Structure 1
Amino acid sequence: MASDPEHPSLSSLGKVGKYSGEIGGLEEPLINGGHGPKNYSVAAAILPFLFPALGGLLYGYDIGATSCATISVESATLSGISWYDLSSVEIGLITSGSLYGALIGSLLAFNVADFLGRRRELILAAVLYFVGALVTALAPDLPVMVIGRLVFGIGIGLAMHAAPMYIAETAPSKIRGRLISLKEFFIVLGMVGGYGFGSLLVDIVAGWRYMYGASTPLAVIMGIGMWWLPASPRWLLLRAIQGKGNMQELKETAICCLRRVRGPVFGDSAPEQVDEILAELSYVGEEKEATLSEMFKGKCLKALIIGAGLVLFQQITGQPSVLYYAASILQSAGFSAASDATRVSILLGLLKLIMTGAAVLVVDRLGRRPLLLGGVSGMVISLFLLGSYYLFLDNVPVVAVAALLLYVGCYQISFGPIGWLMISEIFPLRLRGRGLSIAVLVNFGANALVTFAFSPLKALLGAAILFYIFGAIAVLSLLFIFFVVGILLYSFIHVGRKPMLGGANGVVGERLDGVVGTTRRGCRRAVVDGVVMIVNVESGEGKGKLGSSGTLSTTQGLDEVGEAQNKVHREASLAGQVGGGRGKSALTL
């Protein structure tokens, strides 16, 4: 297939040389990574990541701080208020208030995010973070405190929607995956900071006010930083091809923004990059606006079932309860001093931080479903252990600590990072923003419900029964991952089989964008931007100097497949140097 101005060539989409062995992009052509061995300045790439990531850090901080604040606000001697004698429902309102706000923020993001753009959405999130934290910290009574929590939560909903998109659309392709993963790392870092700061203040009179007020400086830094940063070049070009502004003016603005986020090393290649992005966006149908009805048809419906199901089970297996009520659980488990309970909560946060890093390192090698199945199995064990502790092991507090550590570790290598990773992979490009909005909506809705219900249900049923219920739901989530997710992902992948070179079979999607290669663990990896997700091609008897297997990873793409398939075959052949050996294909989901 020859290259022409309207149909970008495969090499332009992948942006790698024929034998470069470097991946050009993780998902779709956001900002391509070609034009030389280094097309960005590391210093210039830091700030477009750092300021949006502060939105995640503030979300994580709220989780950790609230875990400690609920102890402080209920104390007759340390709360510093006359309305400290709160019911379990009122405590549930405090802890879940930010999550109900995030639910509202998710609804707003679905309707106004494309109009505002990622940058302005993050500026608005920073303003809401600041106002919400200030109102909560200065609250004279419970209703005002809950209002402050709601406002802060709206900021969470907007930030969690806009931050990953801004980072993805401005980051250089060579480090995009690491930066998106680091955003999740910042959330966990915020949790550790919240637990740590809370443990220092939990024994101080009115310490809960300082815990919530401490997030205001970070909100100011985030807001100023996002005001200074440029708009996403891709969002500007999307507005241009959808006829929502002057094409030439938006192109010129996008060129300036691209130079700012890439640094001076980018030089004069920005106009060429902008032209390529425009061509690519037009070619994959971005000029058409997505409609809500499209989300509930065909492959989008399957993606929605997987995505919404994963984030739903992520929450209703008790994750919000363990995080928000960690200090309270530990206090009831024998750590009578509030400071002791909150310090053990810091240990939970540090473990979460370590396991997040471990998940980032192994997810591509081990696959999504194996990590989900293994991690959720560990969660089942830990939840039944917690239930057993409250039922007949209450004189051994180490059991509660071990169960909490096991739960946090297993969650962070399964539901924690992989649920959102799969959501980002399975939705078609044009509908990915709305798909993400719906997933965020389900996530925060379930999170708020579980967080609110935990305290009154614990009082009604007892902690033992409640954790047994969470354990039973975790068993159901295992069945969902094994059967429903497995079947739907197989239907995504099994769109069509085409023979690979050397007799190996490879699964090829209906539509392809481009093929690039990368060296990983001594293997050659072929990446196809098509409808299929991940397929391993093993070499059988063939011996390859680059290794015995390669991976085809696809998301969505174009109508013509002839030349693209040939290139897939060549890359698959390189993957294992199959030659005349007999090969086989295997799914690595």
Structure 2
Amino acid sequence: MKFLDPKCCVQLFGKSSGEISPEREPLIKENHVPENYSVVAAILPFLFPALGGLLYGYEIGATSCATISLQSPSLSGISWYNLSSVDVGLVTSGSLYGALFGSIVAFTIADVIGRRKELILAALLYLVGALVTALAPTYSVLIIGRVIYGVSVGLAMHAAPMYIAETAPSPIRGQLVSLKEFFIVLGMVGGYGIGSLTVNVHSGWRYMYATSVPLAVIMGIGMWWLPASPRWLLLRVIQGKGNVENQREAAIKSLCCLRGPAFVDSAAEQVNEILAELTFVGEDKEVTFGELFQGKCLKALIIGGGLVLFQQITGQPSVLYYAPSILQTAGFSAAGDATRVSILLGLLKLIMTGVAVVVIDRLGRRPLLLGGVGGMVVSLFLLGSYYLFFSASPVVAVVALLLYVGCYQLSFGPIGWLMISEIFPLKLRGRGLSLAVLVNFGANALVTFAFSPLKELLGAGILFCGFGVICVLSLVFIFFIVPETKGLTLEEIEAKCL
């Protein structure tokens, strides 16, 4: 079997400066091997990594009910049920602290062990965290279990979008990565549902957390069976790590497994093409820590980090915090039950995320971002106006709430994770995505912790209008900074957009 020599690729195509000269552009633009693939074959390489997102969402939904069960004198089944607000806060945020730590760990190991092994490690920690939490004899052991589970969240939310983006066919890459967000929301709804069924059962919180165990086992077995990312294997080749022929053979076998029988005849040619493009855009050089903040690496960090930062600081946790009181004011009978309200909003999020999945590879990333965030701007100013001027018209708040949730799930919800999975150059993708995930969870923590003091200081109306102003700034950022990546291969994105 004949391969391109990476050194020959360097001589043939030269070094990349981040821009493509006219004589070189045809390599990136026109001469691609047609991406033959089987949709059936693409299901499992998506499904098993996406279980990491499902387990993350499930933890969010289940914990909201578990804190109620834990504090019940008659149903908790423990002697330490009399928890303070700080204790309950640690139960709720323990996984967030673990996720922050997991993002830091991912920065150091991602490009060494690869996406597949990182997801296997995440599945193992999901299993350990769920078991420790469900079987916790004391409060301190419970918190340890929550933190371990959170570390797996950080690893899974880092590696899953990378693995899916690097293995998915370009025509459906946007749909598959966005579908991971659908799985997160599906997990949340499942967590709320199982929580509502077991919240009145003796030691119900143990059952809530134990439900994660079989899913973690399935995820681990599935990732053990799946092949390594072919692009990660080829990155090791052109950076001179490992046996060249063995890595190339592994990359070809990986592509054949991932794309199905239709791809067998063109697998070797596709590997040659990816090798040539990776070398052309400068992937043969390892990136140092300082280079993360230079050139096209810096541009990728600005795009990816900016999106996930705005994803959090435009007020999503705060709006959802107010959801029960808004619906209760409007006279909805379900609003008195926080769990039912959460299920209602979760179903809306699920539907709107499904809409985004269907249209994202047809309309593109930018139209959905601009349209969705534009709707968020309107909804936030409506919500602020309700608390400032229209408190006698609760329908305004309900419309604003539903509009916000729907528009968020059309835009920032799925597309934030999609863009950070595809915008970073391959040699930077592991470290860059870990920094973006760290920004995401860090900003989430900041907004969560700052919300109550800011509400006390400014009032809900001014605070939501402030989020609206930040949302306007995010629109400007998207319009001028965020590129369109629809239909491009990952190598084309690096060559054309950075």
Partner of 1:481: 474
**What one-letter code is carried by the residue in structure 1 that aligns with 2:258?**
V
Question: Does residue 1:265 correspond to 2:262, yes or no?
Answer: yes
List per-residue Cα deviations over 1:388-419 (Å, max 9, x = no partner).
Answer: 69x966xx987776554333223222322333
CA contact (8 A) 1:315 1:450 kept: yes
Work out whether 1:289 is the aligned partner of 2:286: yes
Aligned residues of 2:199 and 2:205 also touching (Cα < 8 A): yes
Matches within 5 A, 1:416-565: 416-424=413-421, 426-451=423-448, 457=452, 467-468=460-461, 470-488=463-481, 529=492, 554-556=496-498
1:322-401 matches, cutoff 5 A? 340-360=337-357, 361=359, 364=364, 367=367, 370-381=370-381, 383-384=383-384
2:30 aligned with 1:67:
no
Per the alignment, do residues 64 and 373 of structure 1 end up closer, same or farther by CA in structure 2, a change over 3 Å counting? same
Percent identity over paired residues: 65
The offset of 1:176, in angstroms, is 2.1
TM-score (norm 1): 0.71
Inter-CA distance 97–323: structure 2 relative to 1 (3 Å threshold): farther
Cα RMSD between the aligned structures? 3.7
Q: Which has the higher contact order (CA 8 A, sep 6+)?
A: 2
Query: Match of 2:152?
Result: 155
Distance of aligned partners of 1:373 and 1:402 in 2 relative to their CA distance in 1, 3 Å threshold:
closer
Do the aligned partners of 1:428 and 1:555 also contact (CA within 8 Å) in 2? no
Distance 2:174 2:314 in 1: 28
Which moved further from structure 2: 431-440 or 157-166?
431-440
Instruction: State whether structure 2 residue 218 is matched by structure 1 residue 237.
Output: no
Q: Does the 8 Å contact 1:372/1:418 carry over to 2?
A: no
Instruction: Determine the C-alpha separation between the residues in 2 that align with 1:86 and 1:382.
Output: 37
Q: Kindly state the Cα deviation for residue 253 of structure 1 after the two structures are TM-superposed.
A: 1.7
Tell me the distance in 1 between the aligned counterparts of 2:226 and 2:147: 27
The CA deviation string for residues 246-274 of structure 1, in whole angstroms up to 9 with x for no partner, is 10111122222222212223233322222
CA distance in 2, matches of 1:246, 1:453: 51
Aligned residue-pair number:
478
CA shift in 2, pair 1:140/1:71, >3 Å:
same
1:235 CA displacement: 0.9
Aligned match for 2:183, one of 186, 193, 197 = 186
Matched ranges for 1:140-219 at <5 A: 140-219=137-216
Deviation digits for residues 219-240 of structure 1, max 9, x if unmatched?
0000000011111111111111
Q: Which of 136, 147, 155 is matched with 1:139 structurally?
A: 136
Instruction: Provide the rounded CA distance (Å) in 1 between the counterparts of 2:171 and 2:328.
Output: 46
Taking the TM superposition and a 5 Å limit, the aligned residue runs for 1:13-24 are 13-14=28-29
Instruction: Return closer, same or farther for 1:229/1:110 CA change in 2, 3 Å cut-off.
Output: same
Shift of residue 49 of structure 1? 0.9
The verdict on how the C-alpha distance between 1:479 and 1:170 changes in structure 2, with shifts beyond 3 A counting, is closer
Distance in structure 2 (CA, Å) of the matches to 1:517 and 1:90: 46
Judge conservation of contact 1:386–1:467 (CA < 8 Å) in 2: no
Q: 2:217 aligns with which of 200, 220, 223?
A: 220
The whole-number CA distance in structure 2 between the counterparts of 1:77 and 1:331 is 28
Structure 1 spans left out of the alignment, 5+ residues:
17-23, 25-31, 494-515, 519-524, 533-553, 557-589
Q: CA deviation at 1:432?
A: 3.7
Q: Of the two, which has the highest radius of gyration?
A: 1
Question: One-letter code of the match for 2:105?
Answer: L
Residue 311 of structure 1 contacts residue 419 of structure 1 at CA under 8 Å; is this kept in 2?
A: yes
Distance across 1 between alignment mates of 2:89 and 2:56:
18
With structure 2 as the length reference, what TM-score do the two structures score? Answer: 0.83
Partner Cα separation in structure 2 for residue 461 and residue 287 of structure 1:
51
Distance in 1, matches of 2:44 and 2:162, equals: 15
Question: Which amino acid is the alignment partner of residue 130 of structure 2?
Answer: A
The 3 A distance-change label for structure 1 pair 555 and 313 is closer
Residue equivalent to 1:113:
110
Counterpart contact for 1:33–1:173, Cα < 8 Å: no
Q: Distance in 1 between matches of 2:190 and 2:450?
A: 26
Partner residue in 2 for 1:498: none
1:423 to 1:91, Cα distance in 2 relative to 1, 3 A: same
Match among 301, 305, 315 for residue 304 of structure 1: 301
Distance (Å, rounded) in 1 between the aligned partners of 2:306 and 2:295? 17
